[in-house]
Chains A and B, each alone.
Chain A
Amino acid sequence: MKHVLKSIVMSSTYQQSSTVDASKQQADPENRWLARGPRFRMDAEMIRDNALAMAGLLSLHKYGPSIYPFQPAGIWSKIGGQAYDYQVSPGSEQYRRGIYVIHKRGSPYPSFVNFDASSRLACTVKRSRTNTPLQSLTLLNDPVYVAAAQALAERVQKARADATLDEQLGYAFQVCTARSPSFNELATLKGLFADQPVEKAWYSACAVLLNLHETITKD
C-alpha cells in the first residue's frame, strides 16, 4: 500500500499545479483527464488538526483513550434512556489529533459532522465534500477554532516579536497557506488594523486566515 501511495504522490501527474483556466475547466470540470493536479477541501479531522497545528496547539501525544474536545452543552445530555456526563479533556489533551476524538454514533461530534464526517452508522467508502453555511459558522464560531485563532495571533507576535506588521502578517499568511501573500493580499489583512485595537485586529486577521478557502483546501 505504501508503495502505491508513494508512486502516486511522486508522479509528475500528481505534482502538477491545480490552477485551472476557464477553457480547461470547461473541457474537463471534474479533472478526469488529470491535466491538472488535485484540489479538494480537507476532511473534517484534517481541518481541525491543521488549525490546531498552525496555532501551535496541536498535541501529537499518541495512544491512550479517546479525547473529549469542547462541544456545546446538551449534545450528550441524554441519548435514549441514559444520561451522559460530557467532561472536556483537560489541558492539551483536548488538542490531540482528530482521530482520537470520542465517537458516539447516536450523537457524533458536531464540528466533524458539519464537514461530512460520517456518523458511522453506515459504511462510507467515500465521504461527500459539501460546502455549506454550517461549515462557515463552525470555523468562525466553534470555540476550538476561536482558541486556534487566538493562539495563532499569540504565536505570530511572539515568533516575530521585533518584526514589522508587514513581516508579521506575511509570516502568519505563510503558516496558513505555505506561501507568501501578494501585495494586495497583505493590504487586505492590514486593512483590519486600520480601525480597531491591535489585539482585536490580530484576532480578526488570524480568524480570517484560518477561514480562508485556501487554508482548508489541499491544492
Chain B
Amino acid sequence: MTRNEHPIHPALYSGSFTDPSVLPTRSTWDRRQFLSTSGIGFGSLALATMLNGESRANPVHFAPRAKQVIYLHMVGAPSQLDLFEPKPELQTRHGQACPPEVTKNRDFAFIGKTSTLAGSPWKFGRHGESGHALSELWPHLSAVVDELAIIHSMHTDEINHAPAQMFLHSGFGRGGRPSFGSWLMYGLGSENADLPGYVVLLSGPPGGAGTSLWSNGFLPSVYQGIQFRSSGDPVLFLSSPAGHSVMDRRRELDALANLNQQHYAAVGDPEIETRIQQYELSFRMQASVPELMTIADETQETLELYGAEPGKASFANNCLLARRLVERGVRLVELYDSDWDHHNTIENRLPKKCQETDRPIAALIRDLKRRGLLDETLIIWGSEFGRTPLNQGGTPAGQKLSGRDHHKDAYTMWLAGGGIRGGVSLGQTDDFGMDIVKDPVHVHDLNATILHQLGLDHERLTYRYQGREFRLTDVHGHVLRAVVDSTAQSRL
C-alpha cells in the first residue's frame, strides 16, 4: 500500500511549493517492517490498516463523540413541507398566486414563477417532550422524535439532483472530489479487520451521480465506499468459481502463501508479506460477509420491529444490515433510498415512500438505543435539497397538490445519536417555507459537523492534490454548536 503525502506535513507550509510527488512522504515501511520482524506478526490493527488504509499517526484532532455513522440518503429530495414543516399560511393561501417578492431572484428547475402556492394535504402533530412537528406520514418516527435534532434551515448551491448529490457528499457540485465517507476513512481508518470500513447499501438506484457519490476522488482508492449488493455476491467477486469448495480454495491459498513466502525470503520485499495477509483476509471475508448479510438469524421480534424480511431487497432490510455493520465496527454505512423526486402524483408516492421507510428508521433508532449503540452512532437523514412551496402542474387555481419542484434555498434534514442533542430544532423558514429567516445551515456546515462528531477538524483534515491543500468543506463550514451535545461522552 502506497501512502500519499502526509496531509499536514510542515514542509507544505514552508513557502517552497514543489511538485507534490517530490514532497516528503511518510514512510509506511518502518512500521510494516516492525510488524513483520518483531515476532508479533500482523495483528488486527495492521489488518484493519491494510484493508482500509493506513490510520493517521494522530488519528483524531479532538475527542470524538461518535464512532460510526449511518447516513440515510433519500434520493430525489423528499418534501419537507409535507413531512417536517407545517405552514398554516400555505394552507390558507392554497391555490393562490405566489406574491412576486417571494419568488424574486429565485430560480426553479422546472416550474415558472406563476405557479400557485400549495398547502400540505397531510396533517401535522406535535410529538414528544421536544414538541417537534411531524406529518401524519411519520407515525413511527413520531414515537422516537425526541432523539432527533431537526435542522429546518438547510440550503445548498445546486438545483439539480446529480450535482446537488455530489455537492452534499463531497462539497463540490461536480465529480472528482472525495465523498465525506472517504474523508472519514482517510482521517480515521477502520475498526474492523474483516470488513470494509465504508459500506454502501442501496434500495433502488442511487441517483444521477451514480457510484461517484462514494468515490474516493483524489484520495487513494483504498478509501472508497464499497457497495454491498442485495443480489448476487454482496461484495463483487466474493464467491469462488462454480464447483470450487472451501477446501479447494484453502488448498490453493496454502500453496500460494507458501510460494509467496519463498519469494519473500529470496527478495525481501515487505509488500509480499502484505499480499499474503490480504489473501488470508479475502478468505475470511468469504465467510464473514455472507454471514453478515444473512439477517435470518435475527429474532422474530427484531425482524418485525424493522419490517425486514430475509431474502428480500428493501430499505427495511438495509436498516437492519446497517445496525449489523456498525455493531461489527464498520465506520460508515450509507443507505440510498430512491424515488423521492415527487414532481407529480405526490399524493400517492410520498405516503408510499414514508410507509417503506418510517418504520425501519424508527426501528433503527430504537434498536441501536437498546443495544447501547445510539450514543456512539451518528444517524443522518436527508437529501440533496428540498421541494418548493409551489405546486407543480397544479393550475388552475384551487386544484389539489400535484407535486413540488426542486428547492435548494430551504429544506430539512435531521441528525440523531452520536453526541447530538436530541429534541432540538435549528433554523426557521418564512411563512411560505420559501426562504430561511433564522440560522441558515449550509451543506458545508453539516459536513463540518459530521467530521466534528467523529473527532476531526474540518479545517485541518486536508489532502494535497494538484498543488494545493483540499478540504471537504473547501474554505467554508461552521460546526453546528446548537445541535452538538458538548457534554456527550468521549468515544476515544
Contact = CB atoms under 8 A, between A and B. Distances in A.
Interface stretch (B87-95, B219-227, B454-462): B219-227
Given A119-B215, A136-B282, A192-B252, A26 B33 contact: yes
Interface string A169-198: 000000000000010110011011000100
A146 B248 CA distance: 14
A203 B252 CA distance: 10
Contacts, number: 194
B263 A20 contact: no
Interface bracket on B: 35 or more
Interface in B49-72: 50-51
B44 interface: no
A110 interface: yes
Contacts of A108: 211
B232 A73 contact: yes
Contacts of A219: 267, 269
A125 interface: yes
Nearest to A24: B268
Given A129-B1, A135-B278, A136-B282, A81 B271 contact: no
12 contacts: A19-B267, A26-B33, A72-B232, A72-B233, A123-B176, A132-B51, A132-B222, A208-B255, A211-B256, A213-B271, A217-B271, A219-B267
Contacts of B238: 137, 141
Contacts of A5: none
B275 interface: yes
A91 interface: no
Given A29-B29, A137-B237, 11 more contacts: A81-B208, A105-B212, A106-B209, A106-B211, A116-B220, A132-B50, A143-B241, A188-B255, A205-B255, A211-B279, A213-B269
B232 A191 contact: no
Contact of A130 (B2, B162, B215): B2
Q: Which of A18, A134, A207 has the most CB of B within 10 A?
A: A134
A72 B252 CA distance: 24
A25 B212 contact: no
A116 B236 contact: no
Interface in B247-297: 248-249, 251-252, 255-256, 258-260, 262-263, 266-272, 274-276, 278-279, 281-282, 285-286
Contacts of A133: 51, 278-279, 281-282, 285
B313 to A, nearest CB: 11
A206 to B, nearest CB: 10
Contacts of B260: 212-214
A131 B232 contact: no
Contacts of A78: 205
B222 A140 contact: no
Contacts of A213: 260, 263, 269, 271-272, 275-276
Interface in B83-113: none
Interface in A16-30: 18-22, 25-26, 29-30
